[in-house]
Copies of this chain bind each other. A is one copy, B any other.
Amino acid sequence: MTDTQTAQIESEAPAATHAAETPEALIARLAKAGRAAQAQLARMTTAQKGAALIAAAEALRAAETDILAANDKDMAAGAERGLSGALLDRLKLDTKRLAGIADAVAQVAALPDPVGQVIDASSRPNGLALSRVRVPIGLIGIIYESRPNVTADAAALCLASGNAALLRGGTEAVHSNRAIMAAFQRGLAKAGVPAEAVQLIPTQDRAAVGAMLTAQGLIDMIVPRGGKSLVERVQNDARVPVLAHLDGICHTYLHASADVAMARSIVLNAKLRRTGICGSMETLLIDAAFPAAQAVVADLLDAGCEIRGDARARALDPRILPASDADWDTEYLDAILSVAIVDGLDAALAHIDAHSSRHTDAIVTSDDAVAEEFLTRVDSAIVMVNASSQFADGGEFGLGAEIGIATGRLHARGPVALEGLTTYKWLVRGTGQTRP
């Protein structure tokens, strides 16, 4: 670590960081405290964890003055640094948003507790009784960007699933995050949960992120929440397992048999309801035999959506721009859509296989056999029939919340909430059996 970095740490977090502590030593110290707290948390009942979350929600409400004052500092610094209006809006807290954050924490208390759930059980011919029971993962590291609500959301989800959390927020929200965390911890302490069950890294030194990513044996899983460059850095550098959410290059395929009115309403919603979320449609595949392609693209164009199409799509409307090769692999997160005309289900599946980020892909069809074939053959985290891809969300799936939407293949896939923050252990009950 250079002297400059040390100075930075000290100036930003004089109280919590020891003067000559390396980033590795800092992370090790916090992780050990988190693990010790987690060992207590793992033994708490659902009611105890719920009471702690209710207390944390109350403490957030009670700390409104402090939290909004801290947020004002972040907003002023952000404006000075020239953050965009969209980024400043993400950063902004007010009475209503803070109440929403507190309510969300309280709502997590009402979710079913996965810890202790029996996944399956069997008994062996020799009389051994086996079962698999869900247990917390341990200490979860969360690395996130601008939105300060993640501080409370992620802490609540980890706590409810019996895990400790070590959070590293973005520099632009540093004061807001600290104020939220201080209130959250006060609530926990009031309810008898060690405050170290959730901790915020007290420094914005980037080397602390590197130390988190390589803290094998201390941090059990890292969840990056933020843009593609953050997630890619975490995936490349991590030695700790990562539950990552990469792009959502989501497709909707209008089959020849699609109901026209349904197709038009799903397409508009999937693209334009909110363009900045990962479940928004980025590519529309229209079957050459679908009878109302012109109306579908006109709806979008009339609503102000830019369309980039292949040669056959461009023939539908003069307002359609030519698509480049790169368009088929682009997550616009904006009112832009790539459109291709495809000849039948196999061609649609081939396009999806080549270009999907395997987040969410959908078909609109009135042919049940085609629907089932699409569901079987598309290998994405979420595959939909006759619905808007904007439903790709833990809340909409009934999970009550989400820590993220996993685009990897292992451990958990798609929206991840409490269950995805657990693992299991095997319990074996015998009566003296020895192995022959």
Contact = CB atoms under 8 A, between A and B. Distances in A.
Interface of A: 39, 42-43, 122, 124, 128, 130, 135, 137-138, 216, 220-221, 235-236, 239, 241, 243, 259, 262, 265-266, 268-270, 273, 353, 371, 375-377, 379-388, 390-391, 396-398, 408-411, 413-415, 423-435
Contacts of A262: 432
Nearest to A435: B390
Given A241-B410, A409-B137, A411-B410, A383 B434 contact: no
A221 B409 contact: yes
A425 B371 contact: no
A383 B432 contact: no
A32 to B, nearest CB: 13
A240 B353 CA distance: 21
B391 A128 contact: yes
B130 A397 contact: yes
A388 B435 contact: yes
A304 to B, nearest CB: 18
B387 A128 contact: yes
A379 B425 contact: yes
B124 A428 contact: no
Given A221-B409, A385-B430, A391-B433, 20 more contacts: A42-B379, A43-B377, A122-B398, A124-B397, A128-B396, A130-B398, A220-B409, A221-B410, A241-B409, A382-B426, A383-B426, A383-B427, A384-B427, A386-B429, A386-B430, A387-B428, A387-B434, A391-B430, A391-B435, A415-B426
B425 A388 contact: no
